[in-house]
């Protein structure tokens, strides 16, 4: 048993939790199913894997550049509270829930394939780190309500497999609007925010796309997405850097941001370099996305034909960034504003029991990736105004949902961080509260959790047939590929 557990832990920690390897494995399966030659299988598998590694390099550059921006914003606003960070909360949970999490993730992935094969929900969720994060959250909630380890693994795997196929289905009409019906789905647990962004964007039909912005002759260089991103972010970074100097004083600013070369000039230039690195990171992400799409979409024809008929790969949110790069920045900034407004609302209206909520501070990483995705979805249905509204609504969701989620995480809810993206919030709240009602009665608890999973599959299957298979596209004709054109 120890050997088997060790093998499962190895597969979870070193293979299935690594999206690059997972995408490579699925590409290989698809190419094998298509009957490709060994050289084509190896080449396609490596290229898809390398594409994801390129994406990760870009994501790391963006995350590293966003960290000081978050500190600047919090310093200027003097806000204090909980910063939602998926990586941090998962790391805290592993010492106590690591073994159960590994089994939930391992069995949950295969459960999702079974559900995809037996239902109309033909999606294969390939964002490995998000599968790991969701498995962790479900394990924490189920153990907290006194479910045994064996029951936690079985029920957690079913709940995990369920959310992995239903969310791509719910998001797919808006995803099709974004991509122009390309054979790819959304595989990221911020999908509730993207759906909300696309739905709100429909209120602004007629607004011009963020990708159609007109520039004077002297500013034509801003039509290049990488340059426009770097310039816009340089303005944001420098504005907050100057505000930090005013609010905190030169000594505090230099101590926090320029310890090696303590002058205000080095402080400002360091933030300017962060803005440029942010632009580089976004550009690298777009290269990685194009590389992945070039390999995995054709390879999935094999999986669709031989293993799961009609299957679509559900991929990480940066997959949509290529379709509207300007909307990513607009959505990100609007999401931060939505987060700050929501923080103020929580501070003013939700600090007295029994309505007391934790103050959820805007974490730049979830706001960039999910806010950017919501901006793209909002832009696809409502142009520039839709991108702003979509990003803002996402910011509200990823502030209030983590606040309510803390209440169902047991002792882990007292940590100074929590899960950040919208689907962790709403799914954890539903599962946690339903489980809490029957806490301590394991047979009834198991039945309640199976009812939750069954209800979601039934609703998503109806949605798939009614809105996806029928070809419905929110807001009219598909409007993707603007950036590519």
DSSP calls for 285-322: HHHHHHHHHHHHHHHHHHHHHHTSTT-EEEE-GGGGGG
Q: Which of 321, 260, 339 lies closest to 70 in space, CA to CA?
A: 339
Three-state secondary structure of the chain: CHHHHHHHHHHHHHHHCCHHHHHHHHHHHHHHHCCCCHHHHHHHHHHHHHHHHHHHHHHHHHHHHHHHHHHHHHHHHCCCCECCCHHHHHHHHHHHHHHHHHHHHHHHHHHHHHHHHHCCCCEEECCHHHHHHHHHHHHHHHHHCCCCHHHHHHHHHHHHHHHHHHHHHHHHHHHHHHHCCCCCEECCCCHHHHHHHHHHHHHHCCCCCHHHCCCCHHHHHHHCHHHHHHHHHHHHHHHHHHHHHHHHCHHHHHHHHCCCCCCHHHHHHHHHHHHHHHHHHHHHHHHHHHHHHHHHHHHHHHHHHHCCCCCEEEECHHHHHHHCHHHHHHHHHHHHHHHHHHHHHHHHHCCCCCCCCCCECCCHHHHHHHHHHHHHHHHHHHHHHHHHHHHHHHHHHHHHHHHHHHHHCHHHHHCCCCCCCHHHHHHHHHHHHHHHHCCCCHHHHHHHHHHHHHHHHHHHHHHHHHHHCCCCCCCCCCCCCCCCC
Q: Which residues pair with 360 in a beta bridge?
A: 82
Higher model confidence: residue 328 or residue 228?
328
Give the separation between CA 365 and CA 1, rounded to whole angstroms: 39
Give the model's pLDDT for residue 22. 72
Three-state secondary structure of 118-140: HCCCCEEECCHHHHHHHHHHHHH
Strands of the sheet with 123-125, listed across from one edge: 123-125, 312-315, 185-186
Q: Which residues are CB-neighbours of 435 under 8 A, at least 6 positions away?
A: 141, 142, 145, 147, 408, 445, 448, 449
Decide if 375 is inside a domain. Answer: yes
Give the separation between CA 378 and CA 195, rounded to whole angstroms: 9
Q: What is the DSSP letter of 208?
A: P
Domain span holding position 403: 2-468
Decide if 408 is inside a domain. Answer: yes
> How many domains does the chain contain in total?
1
Give the model's pLDDT for residue 220. 57
pLDDT above 70 (res 202): yes
CB atoms within 10 A of CB 340: 18
Give the model's pLDDT for residue 480. 43
Decide if 476 is inside a domain. Answer: no
Higher model confidence: residue 82 or residue 139?
139
- Tokens linked to 221: 């260089």
pLDDT above 50 (res 482): no
Helix (H) or strand (E) holding 185: strand 185-186
Poorest-pLDDT segment among 93-97, 190-194, 335-339: 93-97
- Tokens 């009812």, residue? 451
pLDDT above 60 (res 235): yes
Please write the tens of the pLDDT for every residue from 71-106: 787 777 676 677 787 777 776 776 677 778 878 887
Decide if 124 is inside a domain. Answer: yes
Q: Which residues pair with 313 in a beta bridge?
A: 124
Higher model confidence: residue 338 or residue 22?
338
Query: Interior CA angle at 103 toward 102 and 107, to 5°?
Result: 120
Residue 468 binned pLDDT confidence (cut-offs 50, 70, 90): very high
- 3-state SS, residue 198: helix
Q: Which of 425, 449, 423 lies closest to 437 in space, CA to CA?
A: 449
Give the model's pLDDT for residue 391. 97
Residue 458 binned pLDDT confidence (cut-offs 50, 70, 90): very high
Q: Which residues pair with 82 in a beta bridge?
A: 360
Give the model's pLDDT for residue 260. 65
pLDDT above 70 (res 152): yes
- Tokens 């009219």, residue? 476
Exposed e or buried b per residue across 234-249, where buried means at least 16 C-beta atoms within 10 angstroms of its C-beta: bebbeebbbebbeebe
- Tokens linked to 318: 């940066």
Answer for the pair 308, 36: CB distance below 8 angstroms, yes or no. Answer: no
Decide if 477 is inside a domain. Answer: no
Poorest-pLDDT segment among 88-97, 200-209, 327-336, 343-352: 88-97
Distance from chain centroid for Cα 230: 23
Give the model's pLDDT for residue 484. 38
Residue 485 binned pLDDT confidence (cut-offs 50, 70, 90): very low
- Tokens linked to 304: 């669709």
- 3-state SS, residue 258: coil
Give the model's pLDDT for residue 483. 38
CB atoms within 10 A of CB 117: 13
Decide if 481 is inside a domain. Answer: no
Decide if 364 is inside a domain. Answer: yes
Q: Which of 206, 196, 191, 424 lies closest to 320 in space, CA to CA?
A: 191
Q: What is the DSSP letter of 186?
A: E
Give the model's pLDDT for residue 327. 92
Please write the tens of the pLDDT for every residue from 469-480: 999 989 765 444
pLDDT above 70 (res 411): no
| Mean pLDDT, all residues of the chain | 83
C-alpha torsion angle, residues 245, 249, 251, 255 (rounded to 10): -50
What's the whole-model pTM score?
A: 0.80
Decide if 44 is inside a domain. Answer: yes
- Tokens 């950017």, residue? 372
């Amino acid at each position: 048993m120890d050997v088997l557990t060790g093998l499962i832990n190895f597969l979870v920690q070193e293979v299935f939790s690594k999206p690059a390897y997972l995408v490579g494995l699925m590409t290989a399966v698809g190419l094998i199913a298509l009957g490709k030659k060994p050289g084509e299988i190896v080449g396609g598998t490596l290229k898809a894997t390398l594409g994801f590694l390129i994406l990760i390099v870009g994501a790391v550059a963006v995350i590293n550049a966003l960290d000081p921006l978050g500190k600047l914003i919090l310093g200027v606003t003097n806000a204090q509270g909980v910063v939602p960070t998926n990586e941090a909360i998962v790391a805290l949970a592993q010492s106590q829930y690591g073994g159960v999490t590994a089994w939930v993730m391992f069995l949950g992935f295969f459960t999702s394939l079974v559900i995809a094969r037996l239902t109309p929900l033909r999606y294969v969720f390939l964002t490995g780190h998000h599968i790991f994060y969701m498995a962790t959250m479900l394990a924490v909630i189920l153990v907290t309500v006194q479910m045994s380890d064996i029951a936690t693994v079985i029920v957690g795997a079913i709940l995990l497999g369920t959310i992995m196929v239903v969310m791509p289905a719910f998001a797919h009409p808006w995803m099709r609007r974004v991509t122009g019906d390309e054979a790819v789905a959304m595989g990221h647990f911020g999908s509730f925010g993207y759906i909300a962004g696309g739905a709100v964007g429909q209120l602004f039909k007629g607004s011009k796309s963020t990708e159609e912005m007109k520039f004077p002759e002297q500013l034509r260089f801003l039509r290049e997405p990488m340059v426009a991103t770097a310039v816009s972010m340089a303005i944001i970074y420098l504005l907050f850097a100057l505000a930090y100097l005013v609010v905190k004083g030169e000594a505090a600013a230099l101590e926090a941001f320029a310890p090696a070369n303590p002058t205000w000039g080095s402080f400002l230039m360091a933030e300017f370099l962060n803005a440029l690195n942010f632009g580089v990171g976004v550009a690298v992400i777009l290269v990685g996305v194009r590389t992945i799409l070039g390999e995995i979409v054709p390879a999935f024809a094999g999986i669709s034909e031989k293993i799961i008929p009609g299957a679509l790969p559900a991929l990480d949110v940066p997959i949509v960034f290529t379709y509207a790069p300007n909307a990513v920045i607009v959505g990100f900034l609007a999401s931060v504003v939505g987060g700050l407004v929501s923080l103020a609302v929580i501070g003013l209206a939700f600090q007295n029991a029994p309505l007391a909520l934790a103050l959820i501070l805007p974490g730049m990483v979830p706001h960039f990736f999910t806010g950017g995705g919501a901006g793209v979805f909002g832009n696809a249905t409502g142009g520039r105004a839709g991108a702003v509204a979509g990003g803002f609504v996402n910011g509200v969701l990823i502030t209030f949902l983590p606040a309510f989620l803390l209440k169902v995480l047991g002792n882990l809810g007292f940590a100074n961080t929590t899960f950040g993206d919208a689907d962790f919030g709403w799914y954890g709240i539903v599962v946690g509260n339903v489980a809490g009602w029957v806490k301590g009665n394991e047979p009834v608890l198991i039945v309640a959790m199976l009812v939750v999973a069954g209800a979601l599959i039934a609703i998503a299957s109806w949605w798939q047939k009614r809105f996806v298979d029928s070809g419905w596209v929110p807001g009219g004709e598909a409007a993707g590929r603007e950036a590519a054109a």
